Structure 1
Amino acid sequence: MITMMQTAERLRQGLTTPDKLIESALAAIKNSAYVFIDVLEQRAFNDAKASTRRWRQGAPLSPFDGIPYAVKDLLDVVGSRTTAGSITRIDAPMAVEDAEVIAALAALGMIPLGKTNLTEFAYSGLGLNPHFGTPTCDVAVSESRVPGGSSSGSAIAVQRGIVTCAIGTDTAGSIRIPAAFNGLVGYKASTSRYSMKGLHPLAITLDSLGPFAHTVADCVALDTAMRGFKDVAIEAANLSSLRFVVDDGVMSDPALQPVVQHNLVSMMERLRAAGAQVERRPVLAVARTRELIAREGWLGAIEAWRLLGAIVEGPQGHQMDRRVRHRLRTAKEVDPASEARIRHLRTELMAAMERELDGAILVMPTVKHVAPPMAPLSNDDELFASVNLETLSLTMIGSLLDMPGVAIPSGKDSIGLATSTLFSTTQGRDDQLLSACLAIETRLCD
């Protein structure tokens, strides 16, 4: 697959034009069902025409001028509805201004191709959507696999090569999980890294944004663009200066598939051989966070109920995905005192994680398993609920503690399904994490 940075170089050399990029992307959409909820065809054509003219005049707005990308349908884009993947919002008013991160990309000439599909209201880690269909990857397997959620369409748009990069959101794993299932790089930022203006929220304490791409370098470039910068400033760290802590507690989890464990261990052995410091030990803050979530409940569920409860119990509630509706209703029963305990312990655990890692990078599997078959999950609500929670169980840790994380492909299983390793740092250390992941990518690609 061609990358975003390769596309930028092709534009610079005059080997392609924004017009051609848009034509190719729109053609690819026709062969990819359920990936987009809304294709912004006229805006894309108009933007590409203007971008092509700038390149011919030698005055592009940035190195990324004219590159198309996909946008999860939780972010406002002028002239489209933000459905949040729900037919309860099918008549929502058209957006009159772009979300701030979309406006930042527009100022650099990047072109939003369309609004991508997602789990209804972004409330599942598996990516199924009964209203708009469920997009799937094009890996040749005997039965369709779930795309991961909730940012299913954004991940599949990149996996299928419709676009080189896409924007997703992540509240409990919604970037990292689809990245893991589809062999992509996915970066979930700290919650304060980007402006959240123009985003349909789910859980305001935990909601974050980030990119999907085929490479860390592309994610770094899109991250830079989303913050309004023309040029990429983050550079690869010296691998020998990096320290990694592989959490032994998670690696000993009996639910961890052997191939996921094996591929992570192999990846870290290669990094150790290249000079990185790799330590495997239990991380107490990880174990305590998992215990807190199991005992008190999920903070994201509490905030989601506060936002969506009126829809769930209102006249439109029967229109919702029954699985999403049921999961939201369970949050209604959470003891209000639990929220206070969660918030108090969250602050304590964030400080504890900072002390335990002491500048090191936390390493875990992104998900314990490869993408599961879709049909059984579509037909069995109890199975769906249990697999969904298992799928989210590791990424929820970083979400609760506001840890930026990068999911990087670690290999494949015997039938070609992707596995993934998650690299995380503590709150606000995004530049350090991205710099380290650039170094990891450089070494693994040698």
Structure 2
Amino acid sequence: MLTTGAVTPSHLLHATLRRIASGDPAVFTQRTVARAEMEAAAASRRYVEGRPLSMLDGVPVAWKDLFDVQGEVTRAGSSVLDDGPALRDAELVRRIAACGAVTTGKLNMTEFAFSGLGLNPHFGTPRNPWSHGEDRIPGGSSSGSAVAVALGLVPIAIGTDTSGSVRIPAAFNGVVGFKPSGGRWPLEGAFPLSRTLDTAGVLTRTVADAVVVDAAACGLSPSEVLPHTDGRIRLVVPTNAVWESVDADVARNFEEAVRRLEDFGVGIEHRRLPVLDEVLSVASRHGALVVKEAFELHRSRLASPDAERMDPRVRTRMLLGSHMSAASEAIVRQARLDLIDAMADLFDGTTFVAYPTVAIAAPLLGPLELDDHLFATTNMLVLRNTLIGSFLDWCGISIPNGFDDNGIPTGFLLSGGPGSDHALLALANRIEAVIRGGQSFDFIRHNHS
């Protein structure tokens, strides 16, 4: 529409800002109206002159509130973090803005990105748009990012993913969520959780949109990211580790998608992948690396009066990192390297791993707000499938693949080995329609047709 002149970036921005203002107030924590208007006006001039910067020129984008945006305070979902307005854009913000994207604001998130459920007692919890009555969780920690895209407030939202924080909310909200391999996208100027496991990521409506954003983040053209692929593909479906406590509807949707892929000509291999069990076992026996690194990052804050102003569940989980010894941390770090090496032979450029993104569809919000034990057990179940790929430095993309009996979306997680992002995105683009099975995940059209 921008290219044909059917809409200008400025008109698109004004419509976007109206939608944001009339939507769930817990989705956006800040709106960068003045900056957006300047960026949209500049993009409008470029289109009139026939020289758009890229496929992102004039396209609205919003940012999880742990990326620095010049002139705005980065709060990371917390009421205790206020280092003053950022002096400059985070590197990823700079790269996306340099492609002409219009920065509309900052998005809500779990405090300090430390939960897979998306609850935030400080700024409110964004409501999962597929709730159908009683509120359901959005998933986290990139909660506002997923809801903003699902509601059609913006077509692109940038989040982060340490143990599943892009892929989980993507699955819960019926959108696409792409987590690149570690180091593929820059994290300078993004408030950290785990310096070892953090990655940036993107939530979009389609795989093609994720490809465009990945290209911009890497300084490439979309054609460089998305080479032509029509060769034989093999998907390995693990028979272990990821299936305990999986909802029947989640399993059904995954199995139906696998059958469609097989009919499409994708080779399917069901087999045990012992490394997946070992990832979970290492964390169980020695502790989670993300918890240790979060504790070290926030050690002084946890020992200060600010600790009482933090989300108690975030604070409690961070404090568990104090129990992880240096010896245990060293064991976990070495195990990670060994397990990544152990999986290297599986990924040959044509082989990928597939299983449900999350074991359950988005649960009701109310019971989780009231029950700390239920919150903790649900959080671990929700994180389990995605944290495996994070620990092994897999790139991964969650694609909507159906609804449960309550009309709540489920997700199909497609993962590739470290550094196989190009091949993963090419495959995901090729088989997205097959995974979706012809179902519409357009919330606006679905609910207001």
TM over 0.5: yes
Using the TM superposition, give the Cα deviation of residue 237 of structure 1 relative to its aligned residue in structure 2, in angstroms: 5.4
Equivalent-residue separation in structure 1 for 2:240 and 2:230 (angstroms): 25
Aligned to 1:348: 338
The one-letter amino acid of 1:233's match is: E
Please tell me whether residue 88 in structure 1 is matched to residue 80 in structure 2: yes
Please tell me whether residue 276 in structure 1 is matched to residue 266 in structure 2: yes
Give a deviation string over 1:230-276, Cα, whole Å, max 9, x none.
5443336545511100011146x340111111111111111111111
Using the TM superposition, give the Cα deviation of residue 56 of structure 1 relative to its aligned residue in structure 2, in angstroms: 1.1
Give a deviation string over 1:356-396, Cα, whole Å, max 9, x none.
44441011111000001001101111111111111101111
Aligned to 2:387: 396
Give a deviation string over 1:132-156, Cα, whole Å, max 9, x none.
1111132252210000000001111
Using the TM superposition, give the Cα deviation of residue 228 of structure 1 relative to its aligned residue in structure 2, in angstroms: 2.7
Equivalent-residue separation in structure 2 for 1:212 and 1:58 (angstroms): 29
User: Of 120, 126, 129, which residue of structure 1 is paired with 2:117?
Assistant: 126
1:177-326 alignment, distance < 5 Å = 177-235=168-226, 238=229, 240-250=231-241, 253-326=243-316
Equivalent-residue separation in structure 1 for 2:399 and 2:435 (angstroms): 11
Q: Which moved more, 1:295-304 or 1:132-141?
A: 132-141
Q: Is the 8 A contact 1:240 1:276 kept in 2?
A: no
Q: Is the 8 A contact 2:292 2:320 kept in 1?
A: no
Aligned to 2:54: 62
The one-letter amino acid of 1:336's match is: A
The one-letter amino acid of 1:400's match is: F
Give a deviation string over 1:389-430, Cα, whole Å, max 9, x none.
111011111111111110111110112101111111111111
Please tell me whether residue 14 in structure 1 is matched to residue 23 in structure 2: no
Aligned to 2:424: 433
The one-letter amino acid of 1:280's match is: H
Aligned to 2:104: 113
Equivalent-residue separation in structure 2 for 1:231 and 1:333 (angstroms): 45
- Structure 1: runs of 5+ lacking an equivalent: 1-9
Q: Is the 8 A contact 2:400 2:435 kept in 1?
A: no
Using the TM superposition, give the Cα deviation of residue 82 of structure 1 relative to its aligned residue in structure 2, in angstroms: 0.8
Give a deviation string over 1:311-340, Cα, whole Å, max 9, x none.
112121100000000010111111221111
RMSD of aligned C-alpha atoms? 1.4
Count of residues in Structure 1 that have an aligned counterpart in Structure 2: 435
User: Of 373, 378, 381, which residue of structure 2 is paired with 1:387?
Assistant: 378
Q: Is the 8 A contact 1:126 1:391 kept in 2?
A: yes
Equivalent-residue separation in structure 2 for 1:420 and 1:21 (angstroms): 30
TM-score scaled by length of structure 2: 0.94
Aligned to 1:28: 19
Q: Is the 8 A contact 2:236 2:354 kept in 1?
A: yes
Q: Is the 8 A contact 1:79 1:94 kept in 2?
A: yes
Using the TM superposition, give the Cα deviation of residue 166 of structure 1 relative to its aligned residue in structure 2, in angstroms: 0.8
Equivalent-residue separation in structure 2 for 1:232 and 1:112 (angstroms): 24
Equivalent-residue separation in structure 2 for 1:358 and 1:194 (angstroms): 23
Using the TM superposition, give the Cα deviation of residue 25 of structure 1 relative to its aligned residue in structure 2, in angstroms: 1.0
- Structure 2: runs of 5+ lacking an equivalent: 439-449
Equivalent-residue separation in structure 2 for 1:385 and 1:166 (angstroms): 27
Equivalent-residue separation in structure 2 for 1:422 and 1:289 (angstroms): 18
Equivalent-residue separation in structure 2 for 1:353 and 1:439 (angstroms): 24
Equivalent-residue separation in structure 1 for 2:303 and 2:433 (angstroms): 51
SS at match of 1:393: helix
Aligned to 2:40: 48
Q: Is the 8 A contact 1:137 1:160 kept in 2?
A: no
Using the TM superposition, give the Cα deviation of residue 194 of structure 1 relative to its aligned residue in structure 2, in angstroms: 1.2
Q: How much identity, in percent, do the aligned residues show?
A: 41
Q: Is the 8 A contact 2:214 2:225 kept in 1?
A: no
Please tell me whether residue 329 in structure 1 is matched to residue 340 in structure 2: no
Please tell me whether residue 409 in structure 1 is matched to residue 400 in structure 2: yes
Give a deviation string over 1:215-234, Cα, whole Å, max 9, x none.
11111111111223354433
Equivalent-residue separation in structure 2 for 1:336 and 1:240 (angstroms): 47
Give a deviation string over 1:41-72, Cα, whole Å, max 9, x none.
11111111111111112122222211011100
TM-score scaled by length of structure 1: 0.95
Equivalent-residue separation in structure 1 for 2:55 and 2:402 (angstroms): 31
Using the TM superposition, give the Cα deviation of residue 442 of structure 1 relative to its aligned residue in structure 2, in angstroms: 4.5
